[in-house]
Chain A
Amino acid sequence: MAAQTFNSSMQPTDVYGGDEVSAIVLDPGYSSIRAGFAGEDAPKSFVNSHYGLNSQARLVFGDDAIHNPSAGLEIRNPMSKEGIVEDWDTATSLWEYAITSRLTSFKQADPRTNGMNDDNKDLEMQMEVVEGEEKALEEHPLLMTETAWNTTKNREKSIEIAMESWGCPAFWLARNSVMAAFGAGRATALVVDVGASTASVIGIHDGLILKKSVQKSNLGGNWLSSQLRSLFASQDPPLELIPHYMIASKTPVDAGAPPQAVYRKYEKDPSDSFRALEEERVLTEFKESVVQVWSGPGRLNSMNATGSNNLDYARSQPGRVFEFPDGANQMWGVERFTVAEGMWDEKAALPVPNEAPGTKMTIPEMVRASISAVDMDLRAHLLQNIVVTGGTTLVNGFTDRLNNELMAMYPGARIKIQAAGLTAERRFGSWIGGSILGSLGTFHQMWISKAEYQEFGASVVEKRCK
């Protein structure tokens, strides 16, 4: 597949479709689905991966629908904890929603498209129209991303859906880590991707994944959330996490004082999964405004150059106040550092059953394992091109700490971290890479066309998209 590198100067002979039809880039993840047109700088469609199942067994999608406490929703997620698809039927509908809600409509209501095949008999025409209504993407090639550890079966399923259910004229399946590297303008890079369900470190060379370098662990956003829950539970008195929907009104109280809120009553209490989803929103806000990674040098629990403990220093730092939905508020001092320390130092992780990080699972250790798994000649190159992406890397101080850890780990090596400054670029790194790739003229020759799919079947994806 070396011929398919993207610095190919060869002009494509058979350009697909022409420029006016832009490809759709679909980047599904555990927490959200990003979809948009290739060539644009941000995904037009951003949809929560969680969906609701109401009492009539109907599915509801999208943030606008799933946060309704009185709808009796059971909240689920079609993705597994590893960020790969588990429930294909729902995932398909969910992705369809992501595409049709903001990008393109299902119904080919435009009369001009109907008028194009005027030679056909009426019956045929009608059938065409019916098909057009069912297939959302007949006009658009689809570029989808996947994790590096996606299974063969899943990959084949992806192309089946794209070709059979959606009627895509062309398809490509790209690794999200490769896309993140492209998004940062690198074809060779070490991608540190910390998302919601997983954290991964993957070496990429010339646009291809180095299989041996793939490292992943669960130390992502969800893990951080459970650390937070553990932190709240360890407070004295234990801090109960009350999501917004349970509060009718709150009253300002002194820091640390018990909350005084008027609670909302529901005829039927929303399900536990709904509550978990809503609690997660509070935790997200907490992560945004309070949590901080100890930025180093050294670990939080280690001594620093002056001989004092970093922890003591962190303690002296001003804290941050967070007000919970029920009005309870308190100052978070050193806790806001300790809660994220487990990502870097497995011994510092707060005790959470079944989620204790192994020794090889912290981010510095994953980088070490990944680097040592690749060819000696490549290592320096990778260390100079470290791409940081994923929403959880937005936690304050993340890149500083990564830099400090790597400097300590590889003294003498040139280490350069590439982390997008804009929030959107960091969160949507792999989508943006897909957008760039999908709009490249040279990429047009790489698409798996419908004809190819029909000739070789679903296994073509395994041969073509390495």
Chain B
Amino acid sequence: MPPFKDEHILIIAPGSQTTLAQLGLPESFTPASHRFPTRMFPAPDGKTYEPYKIRSRKKEPVINGADVEMGGTGEPKEGDDQELVELPEDDEGAIYPLKEGRIDNMPAFFAFLHHVHNTLSPTLHTPIMLIAQPSWTAKNHEDITAFVFEKFKTPALCIMDSALATSYAFGIANSTIIDVGYEKIDVTAVTDFQISGRGTVPHSGGEAMTKRLVNLLKSKNFTREMAEQLKRSPICEILPPGTPLPGTDAKEEVISNPAAAASTGATSSGPSVRITEPPQIPILDEVADDDEAFDDKQIEDDGVLDVASIVTSGKIQEVLARREKEKAEKEKLKAARKEKRDAEKAEAAAAAARPARLPNSKRPRAIFHYEEIIKDAPDAKRQKTPEPVPAMAANGETAVTGESKPVDAAPAVPEAAPAPVEDEAARREQQKAARKEERRRNREDENPERIRRDIEIGTERFLAADEAYLDAVADTIYRTILSVDDISKRQDAWDALVICGLGSKVRGFKEALLTTLNNRYLVSPSSATMFMSELPSNLATPSGTGSQTPNASFSSTPHAPPTASAVNPLLLAATTASNPALNPNLSVTSYSGTHSHSSHSQSPTSIKVASPPSYFPEWKQYEEAVFLGSQVAAKVIFVVDQGLSKGFLSRVEFNEEGPTAIHQVGLVY
């Protein structure tokens, strides 16, 4: 078998909502080139599945160039005067093959894999790296193995657990991966790059937060879509437990560091909680600006080039030209890429400009700019004349509270915003309007009409994840790490928490989770051992000294320097070695194992977030670190190792041993 090359490796990382895929490893690893919505639609024949919604409608004379339907893979079956059209944007009736990570509908999932594979159309000499969700059963792995080898004729397959892939991305042998997904949160303890503990929080993840917002805002007629947008907006924030909601509590505790405290909303909420953190404004900026990665619904815009369908639809020139244009535009408007949520952006900018202003977490109410897409009735969907926006705004389906504003209208800036910000916002608004116009022209087949409404939201926006939610996650993390057999490795796992998954992007989530963990589980060095030195057990974690354990271990630059305040046990041991009377621990005798078993000790003595690797310039956000890790792993397994360590299952082995052989492979260090 000739060696595998970087450019041939196909990586597929399925998620419940979005699947990341890429063909070939770039020189420097990049975020996934392709993002697919993980959904399929029943085909008209009722047995198979199609990647896009297919509808039959009255045949129309094809209007020249305007028809840029991305279809084609679905080999439209022509009726007399009916034809089948694919509606790439429509998700009505969609089948999501993965539910909470589990494979809920295997045939649909196979069809989906097929669709991804076709879209990327790899060569025959393409090894496949498939990232598995932790909840997939052994049988799932076998079925997928059989399917991949039989259908894709691939020379080699590696199925890798997503948590393991994430640990590869971070390059940390012992870690705890907390993957906040769509409807679940998976917690996986990894020791020595092996999975040693698993837990799941069912009915959680990002969707649970959305649902909760919908519930809370029922009185305001919030729809799911509205809640989803609210959740993604920077005004939605999860406050560390114990923080009083603004407006509900008059008594403010004395804040020693106003900037830090204000930015997180953490006053000294719990006696042991002191999150010291740099002001969050830059982070907020980022949140506003990377909606691409966050917004699954925008996938079609984000560079997914459905080659197969373009080719089959025979409009290569046109599509290419269009894409060129889009690309150019993207370049040009790189800075203005954020403008999809420009108002929030403006708000962020405002916050940046005036740090003195009350942060989001202190304001009882905030304005939320809801962007609504109004679709015409499906049958009229393909009408070719984009109407002026204001008209559309008028016939919006849901006129809820307040006035609905057309897109081109003046931007809604929070009342208190000063003039310069308003200007900037206005400028952005214009840019946005321009681009919107552009995009609308580009996507005539869909003809989405967007309107924006400003909705004032009260403190509900801080309640997307309540205490019970955070408790459940924290408890699962605790339970998972405690299920690691090797007691001495547990502390290492606590010291390298990786909170990933798109759901974790909700503002304040990570901080709130860490605060919860610290509040509930952190074991403080006891005054009883201060001079006793539990020396061997603390060896792994010399930072856990003193009464002020690193509560502030989470900051945007993790690995805060260990606080060296109290007696260092190593120092104590060294200084008292010659005088046993001072240190009872070293006294008398070394009889029978009482010392040798010292690895037994409680964990966690410190809780830290792992710092992401800094040597991947393309990676700014590590929510999708799983894809980075899968590239690292693919490189190691397929290119560097070439199968010496049985990192993957080759076609030959599959033919000899069948699908169960997949359990025998995988890198083991």
Residues of B close to A111: CB separation below 8 A: 107, 110
Asked if residues B270 and A249 are in contact (CB atoms below 8 Å), the reply is yes
Interface string of B196-220 (1 = CB under 8 A from A): 0001111000000000000000000
Does residue B557 face the partner (Cβ distance < 8 Å to A)?
A: no
Does residue B588 face the partner (Cβ distance < 8 Å to A)?
A: yes
Does residue A250 face the partner (Cβ distance < 8 Å to B)?
A: yes
- Within the complex, which residue of A252, A256, A318 is in contact with B547, where a contact is CB–CB below 8 Å? A252
Asked if residues A292 and B272 are in contact (CB atoms below 8 Å), the reply is no
CB-CB nearest in chain A for B523: A323
Q: Count of chain A residues with Cβ under 8 Å from any Cβ of B?
A: 65
CB-CB nearest in chain A for B272: A251
Asked if residues B138 and A104 are in contact (CB atoms below 8 Å), the reply is yes
Which of chain A's residues 232-255 have a Cβ closer than 8 Å to chain B? 244-245, 247-252, 254-255
CB-CB nearest in chain A for B270: A249
Binds A, one of B153-161, B451-459, B595-603, B626-634: B595-603
- A105 touching B519 in the complex, CB below 8 Å, given contacts A248-B242, A295-B593: no
Residues of A close to B241: CB separation below 8 A: 248-249
Docked complex Cα distance between A254 and B104 (Å): 52
Asked if residues B138 and A264 are in contact (CB atoms below 8 Å), the reply is no
* Minimal beta-carbon separation of A251 from chain B (angstroms): 4
Asked if residues B526 and A331 are in contact (CB atoms below 8 Å), the reply is yes
CB-CB nearest in chain A for B585: A318
Which of chain B's residues 516-569 have a Cβ closer than 8 Å to chain A? 519-521, 523-524, 526-529, 532, 534, 547, 549
Does residue B251 face the partner (Cβ distance < 8 Å to A)?
A: no
CB-CB nearest in chain B for A24: B138
CB-CB nearest in chain B for A396: B597
Docked complex Cα distance between A68 and B478 (Å): 13
Asked if residues B594 and A318 are in contact (CB atoms below 8 Å), the reply is yes
Asked if residues A331 and B660 are in contact (CB atoms below 8 Å), the reply is no
Asked if residues A323 and B526 are in contact (CB atoms below 8 Å), the reply is yes
* Minimal beta-carbon separation of A438 from chain B (angstroms): 14
Interface string of B235-255 (1 = CB under 8 A from A): 000000110000000000000
CB-CB nearest in chain B for A21: B660
CB-CB nearest in chain B for A337: B594
Asked if residues B663 and A40 are in contact (CB atoms below 8 Å), the reply is yes
Docked complex Cα distance between A292 and B598 (Å): 11
Residues of B close to A320: CB separation below 8 A: 534, 600-601
Asked if residues B520 and A400 are in contact (CB atoms below 8 Å), the reply is no
Binds A, one of B381-389, B426-434, B482-490: B482-490
Interface string of A84-116 (1 = CB under 8 A from B): 000000000000000011111101011110000
Binds B, one of A59-67, A217-225, A374-382: A59-67
Q: How large is the interface on B (under 10, 10 to 19, 20 to 34, 35 or more residues)?
A: 35 or more
* Minimal beta-carbon separation of B607 from chain A (angstroms): 13
Asked if residues B273 and A249 are in contact (CB atoms below 8 Å), the reply is yes
Does residue A226 face the partner (Cβ distance < 8 Å to B)?
A: no
Asked if residues B592 and A400 are in contact (CB atoms below 8 Å), the reply is yes
Does residue A424 face the partner (Cβ distance < 8 Å to B)?
A: yes
* Minimal beta-carbon separation of B191 from chain A (angstroms): 12
- Within the complex, which residue of A44, A254, A397 is in contact with B138, where a contact is CB–CB below 8 Å? A44
- Within the complex, which residue of B139, B486, B657, B659 is in contact with A423, where a contact is CB–CB below 8 Å? B486
CB-CB nearest in chain B for A290: B600
Interface string of A316-335 (1 = CB under 8 A from B): 11111111010101110000
Asked if residues B592 and A295 are in contact (CB atoms below 8 Å), the reply is yes
* Minimal beta-carbon separation of B389 from chain A (angstroms): 46
Asked if residues B478 and A329 are in contact (CB atoms below 8 Å), the reply is no
Does residue B33 face the partner (Cβ distance < 8 Å to A)?
A: no
CB-CB nearest in chain A for B184: A64
* Minimal beta-carbon separation of A371 from chain B (angstroms): 25
Binds A, one of B37-45, B224-232, B397-405, B465-473: B465-473
* Residues of A bordering B, CB below 8 Å: 20, 22, 37, 40, 44, 63-65, 67-70, 100-105, 107, 109-112, 244-245, 247-252, 254-256, 260, 262, 264, 281, 285, 288-290, 292, 295, 313, 316-323, 325, 327, 329-331, 396-397, 400, 422-424, 427
